[in-house]
Amino acid sequence: MKKILVPTDFSAPAENAAHYAIALAKVLKAEVMLCNAFKVPADAPMAGQVAWPLLDYTDMQSFSTSELDKQIEKLTDPLCENKADVYCPALSYQSALGTVCDVVDVLVKEKQIDLVVMGMAGAGGLVQFILGSNSRAMIERLCYPVLFVPYEASFKKIRKIVFATDLSSDDLKPLKYLINIAASCDATIVVMHITDFETQKNEEDQQVLESFFDKVSAKINYPKVRYEYVWNTNLDNGLAWVAQQKDVDMMGIVHHQHLLIDRIFNGSHTQKLARRTQIPLLVFPPNERLVF
């Protein structure tokens, strides 16, 4: 992994996500780029009905650049370069006119970004990603991994990563990606399948399970991979149980057919989970859109 992108709206959760991204970059030996997407008020919805200040593109860009300068200064560790045994990630930034989704999409392609890191926080009893509906839109159309970092989460040594799978062969590519992260951290990968006992006893389902594990063994050569079942009749409850485990440092999941994002924003169990978990959640797009 070479480059990490952190979209920011200069909020506290966004700054926390940037701190997490930089700490992760030190381990992965990657660069970090911050980005801010801005819109000229005249182009905003209902602009004609609102008394916006007379700000033009130049003013907005200047403000964005000024705030990004402040963020970089705040995030830079002045002692880092004096530590011979510590990798110091290069920090840069980019501001651009447009929606968050559009700006991130362009930068991912132009700058060959490997990972996008965003902050999230719970507010008012509902799950709130710091960039609002843009985050949902981004997941729905993304073709790159996005790591959502809870506001309560601070970076700690990654020792255990859980990958929740439905045993689809499409999950192999994201699993390889996670293993690259795990290898850099010398962490264990737990491939976890949530199922109920009756389903597990079904011979056909057992064959699907064994076939998936055979493919993993054949295509992935990493000694710290293990497999676990979570016995639960409800997927949401199973995911909630996984995220409550104190020894899990990161959780990965593939966003299949709108199911994940609906649970995150609407599903009661995962909604509660996202408000209380301190585990960063790495979301992968469906395999047909995955480009890394």
Q: What is 184-195 written as a DSSP string?
A: HHT-EEEEEEEE
Ramachandran bin of 29, using left for φ above 0, alpha for ψ from -120 to 50, beta for the remaining angles: left
176, 149 Cβ separation under 8 angstroms: no
The amino acid present at 284, given as its one-letter code, is F
Extended beta strands in 180-248, E state: 188-195, 225-231
**DSSP-derived secondary structure letter, 272:** H
Answer yes or no: is pLDDT of 236 > 90: no
- Residue 187 has a pLDDT of 95
Instruction: With cut-offs at 50, 70 and 90, classify the pLDDT of residue 258.
Output: low
DSSP 135-176: HHHHHHH--S-EEEEETT-------EEEEE--S-GGGHHHHH
| pLDDT score for 87 | 87
For residue range 39-86, what is the model confidence (pLDDT) as tens digits?
Answer: 765 555 544 444 445 457 788 888 899 999 999 999 998 877 677 777
Asked whether 248 and 160 are in contact (CB, 8 A), the reply is yes
Using CA of residue 282, residue 121, residue 150, residue 90, what is the dihedral sign?
positive
Instruction: Kindly indicate whether the domain formed by 160-289 is annotated with CATH number 3.30.830.10.
Output: no
CA distance 82 to 104: 33
Looking at the domain 3-150, which fold is it?
Rossmann fold (3.40.50)
Q: What are phi and psi of 223, to 5 degrees?
A: -70, -20
Residue 224, classed as helix, strand or coil, is coil
Q: Work out the pLDDT band at 34, boundaries 50, 70, 90.
A: very high
Two structure tokens written together for 146? 């996005």
- pLDDT, mean over the chain: 77
pLDDT tens-digit map of 159-176: 999 998 877 778 888 999
pLDDT of residue 244: 67
Q: Are 93 and 68 in contact (CB under 8 A)?
A: yes
* Region(s) of the chain under CATH 3.40.50.620: 3-150, 160-289
Instruction: Quote the pLDDT of residue 107.
Output: 95
Encoded tokens for 99: 């929606």
DSSP state of 10: S
